[in-house]
Amino acid sequence: MNVVTIGTGYVGINTAAALAYIGHHVAGVDVDARKIAMLRERRAPISEAGLDALLASLQTIRFTTELSEVLGEADVVFIAVGTPSRPDGQANLDYVYSAAAQIGAALSPARDVTIVVKSTVPVGVNGMIETRIREAVQTRGGDGTKLHFASNPEFLREGCALHDTFYPDRFVIGTRDDKAFQMLTELFAPILEQSFVPPASVPSPSPRPRPQCLHTDPISSEMVKYASNVFLALKISYANEIAGLCEKLGGNMADISRGMGMDRRIAPYFLQSGLGWGGSCFPKDSLALLSMARDYGYEMPIVEAAVHVNRRQLDRIVFKILDKLRVLPGKRIAVLGLSFKPNTDDVRNSPSVELAQELVRRGACVCVHDPAGLANARTIYKDDGFLFCDTPAEAAKNADALVIATDWADYRALDWSAIRRLMRGACLFDARNLLRDTMVKNPHLLDGFEYQGL
């Protein structure tokens, strides 16, 4: 089939690459000319395992900034543009509606096309996109009978986005249109059936189960996405709340999380205590869910509490730092990790960045490092008063304290005694509890440090 993906960010580019790999002709469209220039050279604009190699191997994919150039041939069009938060927590739908307007203006009324919303959008927005595109096509003489619409929310995790695209747990299609359902199941058949040969750069898990497929209505499909993301955020906040209590009562949170996770009803994921959740999805999706509820006069105290607990984690680590260092002006603090989680270069809405910003605000000189997110951070946070460092050692030099803000495996493997020798002070704040096991099993590796977890 001929496929167009509008947006070549974390969702769009992985979807586009996977669909091209399983045999479709794909055009990736983005308004960001820099991304398109990189993609034309088969360079991934984001850091994702296996993506560069996959892009280099693909013959049936092309990239453009001009939707109108490629829309005429499309059988399926994905909308995969961003839906960031507005200051009041509502999802900003400008990009989604702008993509819809572009589709409506350029689509041939004579062509059978299925339009699929992959962006995370509040309940009802799929319906609104459909209305707007139908109206636009009708003003150009079409009767809209050839247009089909579906919601197909994305569940990939940054850091293993291609893996999740090729080997998803589930596939949700929200549509009342049989043709749209049929197009999507045909399009993704090799993935739904797990019948494709795994790409060399994205090996398959073993065993290799078929994803479960849920066919539902668009509103339920939209809500599955929010309800899932916010549930995962709740789990992390709950683990953080228990960890805070354990700090008072005693008890080892790593063991407690392990013990909880041994129950299949709970599962071991998203129970790690630490600085809290962030990134481009959980914060905005929890705020958007609360905003939807507010619009309908419905209270969601559990979700509100999860957001509150998450914000409190930042204060908890800041007060631990203040307890030790006292006055921050004149102090030098190394912050290791800026991405919101390891294995991604995404530094948007990262609690690690918020921590570094708070330390700057309180007068500290903050030296930051990240294994993958430094280039993005240098652009996005260039005016935030950070000293950007190319290595952890550079960040640690003459530091009064060091904070591990993102749990990159690279940091676990550091030569900590060498880091200690570079530092002026001894405080090591492990806001992700990355070295907690080391503290228990090989404490000599952290000799000379005053260690505190969160």
Residue nearest to ligand NAD (CB): 9
Residues with Cβ within 8 Å of 436's Cβ and at least 6 positions away in sequence, in order, are 254, 430, 453
271 binds ligand NAD (CB under 6 A): no
83 binds ligand NAD (CB under 6 A): yes
Q: Are 403 and 336 in contact (CB under 8 A)?
A: yes
Tokens 């950070």 correspond to what residue?
386
Tell which positions 100-139 bind ligand NAD, by CB under 6 A: 102, 119-120
Start-to-end CA distance of the chain, whole Å, equals 50
If the CB atoms of residues 33 and 197 are measured against ligand NAD, the closer one turns out to be 33
Tell which positions 330-389 bind ligand NAD, by CB under 6 A: none
Cα 215 versus chain centre, distance: 25
288 binds ligand NAD (CB under 6 A): no
Among 1, 32, 109, 242, binds ligand NAD (CB under 6 A): 32
Annotated active-site residue 281? The verdict is yes
Per CB under 6 A, the segment of 81-89, 104-112, 300-308, 425-433 that binds ligand NAD is 81-89
* Minimum distance from residue 30 beta carbon to ligand NAD (Å): 4
Per CB under 6 A, the segment of 130-138, 153-161, 331-339, 371-379 that binds ligand NAD is 153-161
CA angle (306, 311, 313) in 5-degree steps: 100
Among 3, 4, 5, 9, binds ligand NAD (CB under 6 A): 9
4 binds ligand NAD (CB under 6 A): no
Among 74, 90, 107, 154, binds ligand NAD (CB under 6 A): 154
Among 10, 78, 167, 282, binds ligand NAD (CB under 6 A): 10
Per CB under 6 A, the segment of 6-14, 15-23, 168-176, 294-302 that binds ligand NAD is 6-14
Residues with Cβ within 8 Å of 48's Cβ and at least 6 positions away in sequence, in order, are 10, 13, 14, 158, 159, 161, 162, 344
How many Cα neighbours within 13 Å face the side chain of 39?
28
**Catalytic, out of 281, 365, 367, 389:** 281
Among 3, 5, 7, 243, binds ligand NAD (CB under 6 A): 7
Per CB under 6 A, the segment of 23-31, 130-138, 198-206, 402-410 that binds ligand NAD is 23-31
Torsions phi, psi for 26 (to 5 deg):
-120, 135
CA 224/CA 79 separation, integer angstroms: 18
Quote the DSSP letter at residue 121.
Answer: -
Q: Are 400 and 333 in contact (CB under 8 A)?
A: yes
Per CB under 6 A, the segment of 79-87, 321-329, 367-375, 397-405 that binds ligand NAD is 79-87
Cα 271 versus chain centre, distance: 18
174 binds ligand NAD (CB under 6 A): no
CA 157/CA 105 separation, integer angstroms: 33
Structural Rg of the chain based on CA atoms? 24
68 binds ligand NAD (CB under 6 A): no
**DSSP per residue over 93-108, as a string?**
-HHHHHHHHHHHHH--
Tell which positions 35-54 bind ligand NAD, by CB under 6 A: 35
26 binds ligand NAD (CB under 6 A): no
Residues with Cβ within 8 Å of 98's Cβ and at least 6 positions away in sequence, in order, are 81
Among 5, 8, 237, 240, binds ligand NAD (CB under 6 A): 8
Number of amino acids touching ligand NAD (CB under 6 A): 27
CA 139/CA 411 separation, integer angstroms: 58
CA 446/CA 427 separation, integer angstroms: 11
82 binds ligand NAD (CB under 6 A): yes
* Minimum distance from residue 117 beta carbon to ligand NAD (Å): 9
For residues 414 to 433, the per-residue mask of contacts with ligand NAD, x marking binding by CB under 6 A and - elsewhere, is --------------------
If the CB atoms of residues 29 and 336 are measured against ligand NAD, the closer one turns out to be 29
30 binds ligand NAD (CB under 6 A): yes
Q: Which helix (H) or strand (E) holds 117?
A: strand 113-117
Q: Are 162 and 48 in contact (CB under 8 A)?
A: yes
Among 158, 354, 400, 407, binds ligand NAD (CB under 6 A): 158
Using CA atoms, how far residue 311 sits from 5, 53, 307, in Å, is 35, 38, 6
If the CB atoms of residues 132 and 324 are measured against ligand NAD, the closer one turns out to be 132
Q: Are 410 and 395 in contact (CB under 8 A)?
A: no
247 binds ligand NAD (CB under 6 A): no
Per CB under 6 A, the segment of 2-10, 349-357, 375-383, 445-453 that binds ligand NAD is 2-10
CA angle (330, 331, 333) in 5-degree steps: 145
CA 192/CA 188 separation, integer angstroms: 6
Q: Which residues bind ligand NAD (CB under 6 A)?
A: 6-12, 29-32, 35, 80-83, 95, 98-99, 102, 119-120, 154, 156, 158, 280-281
**Which residues form the catalytic set?**
281
